[in-house]
Amino acid sequence: MNLKGMCTKGIIIGLGFGLLAACQTTTPSKPDPVYISHTAPAVAGKPTISGLTDLGSLPQNLGNTPSTAFADERFSPGEWVMLKGKNLAVNSLHIDDQTVPVDLYYGQNPLFKIPVGLNPTKLHNIVIDNGQGKAASTFKSSHYIVATDTDGKQRHLIRTNPDDRGSIEEDWIDLASEAERPLFTLFSADSSYLFTVNIASRVEEDTDKEANAYVMEVRVFHAAAPDAPALLKQFEVVVDSSPIDVTISANNQIVLLGKRSFTVIDASDPLAMVERQRVQLPAGGEEKTTFVDVIYFADDQRLAFLETYSNRIFVYDTASLSPLADVNVLPEKSIALGVDLEPDPKDSNSFWALMGPNYRLTGSGLVKQYKTLMGKDIPADKRGVHQLVHYSFGESGLVETKRHELDSDYAAYFAQADNNGDLLITATKLQFLTTDLEGKKTTEVLKMTKKLVWDALSFGRVIKVDRDSGAMETVSSGVGIYYDLEWVPGIGQVFSLLKFGPSFSFPYITPSWGVGIASTGTYAKRKMNKYAVFPPYSVGDIEYQD
């Protein structure tokens, strides 16, 4: 019997009650669609976690559905993650020793951002407590180390992985640059975005040739995109003098430092950056002015600038961008000895100043002047120093609290604090930097280079300085120029370098640009012009995705 036909035609004669009931059944309704919301699901028992899905670091907007297009099972700082399971309604969870807020849900599944500050060599514990019980899971985080080869117009992206040797992946990602000179790399405060800062073009030149204005290209990348960071936006800004350094605050205010000025970029919305203000810095030395470093400190309420020719530090307010205080670190000296600044991770109101001959950014004239430091009968005001000076800022302005003497046989480049607040400093044997190889016989040069270069224990090195006692310890050494550095938890110091090999022609040394990693060794990536062994140096920037 064709029941369907009978029902559609209304023919129900003689079929009885059972057939009538069958004809009255309806198609089940579809469940309401689920979107991202602030509404926490109901809790009906103890929580259970069945898995984690990474979603990339782009915003997760209310009313949308989470996209898994960026899922690659690499959990990066700043990346959104969807926690799957049951009874997971909470307003926070714990990852290792950090409390992570939760205010977005996709149905039963909470969404949260991976925090910064995780150790890339460890397996991380995630714990959730809904009031009726606890649930736990684990994951590994993946962090970028970015090494910029300025002259090679390329950035090398190195990924961490706790399962690989030294927690460093063997395959590196190359990020080529079309800019005139790629200079710096930054990560946003939450590590969601990667910024590259490059010279696009020169604008103009003033009469004394010290204040060239430059158009700077800032590129914004999605840091958690699969395979490699994905370009999202490009922005141009002008700095009114030669670009020297860059730094970023916890609310994504970028300060781009030039030799005589700085430009502030509001990157609170990384996809809609705005040039906030350009500021001219005060004159430094009697003949020249070159600011060499800038840092945020005092909970990002203050900026500190170091001018090398006058050896002065200037403090600015970050809200008004006006000067508050300044100090001469070496009032008895008349030569350029300012090198680097480094915030004190143990005290937000304090920082360190690295003082000594500056071979980072000097011209040939200053290099020649530094060579005289090794001579005899040098006037006191022109004798070099090698010091690490600690300052604290308060109602009385800048106050010196410590001064450590460093090894006078080495010229320092950069300082970086480790997790204990001790200082790591890259340095090179001063005798090599001040030895004139020009005009000497081949046999003399060979003897000198053999003596200076192939003593791997004392030529290039990273020195660890105890913050309290000033005691020094060599933690890395080798044949080359060890330059910019970062400290990576569980891995140690990572630095850009010029790695030296032998050559049969003057200056009998072949440099290669490369990277040194404490946990795995040094890597020569690109051969360079042999004269790159002589200062001044432009080896490149190192940045770590915390």
pLDDT tens digit string along 348-405? 999 999 999 998 875 556 666 676 665 667 888 888 899 999 999 998 899 999 999 9
Asked whether the whole model's pTM tops 0.85, one would answer: yes
495 in Cβ contact with 513 (< 8 Å): no
Between the alpha carbon of residue 212 and those of residues 209, 347, 490, 491, 536, the distances in Å are 7, 36, 42, 39, 19
Number of H helices, E strands in the chain: 5, 37
pLDDT for 440 equals 53
pLDDT digits (tens, 9 = 90+) for 278-287: 999 999 867 7
Q: Residues of the chain with pLDDT > 70: what percent? A: 82
Instruction: List, in order of start, the domains of the chain with CATH numbers.
Output: 36-140 (2.60.40), 177-267 (no CATH)
- pLDDT per residue over 32-70, tens digit each? 788 999 999 999 999 999 999 999 999 999 999 998 899
What is the per-residue pLDDT across 187-246, written as a single tens digit (0 to 9) for each? 999 999 999 999 998 886 655 545 689 999 999 999 999 999 999 999 999 999 999 999
Residue indicated by tokens 């010279």: 199
pLDDT at 21: 45
pLDDT at site 23? 46
Give residues with Cβ within 8 angstroms of 136, minimum separation 6: 49, 125, 126, 127, 128
Identity of residue 481? I
Q: 120-144: per-residue pLDDT in tens? A: 999 999 999 999 999 999 999 999 9
Mean pLDDT score, 455-477:
86
Does residue 433 register a pLDDT over 90? no
Q: Is the pLDDT of residue 14 over 60?
A: no
Report whether 315 contacts 325 (CB < 8 A): yes
Of 124, 135, 110, give the one whose Cα is nearest residue 77.
124
The H or E element containing residue 4 is helix 3-8
Residue 304, pLDDT score: 98
Burial 27-58 (b: 16+ CB within 10 A, else e): eeeeeeeeebeeebeebeeebebeebbbbbbb
Q: What is the pLDDT of residue 470?
A: 97
Determine how many CB atoms are found less than 10 A away from the CB of residue 534: 17
Give which of 435, 313, 288 is closest to 370, Cα–Cα. Answer: 435
Nearest to 199 by CA among 179, 184, 219, 185: 179
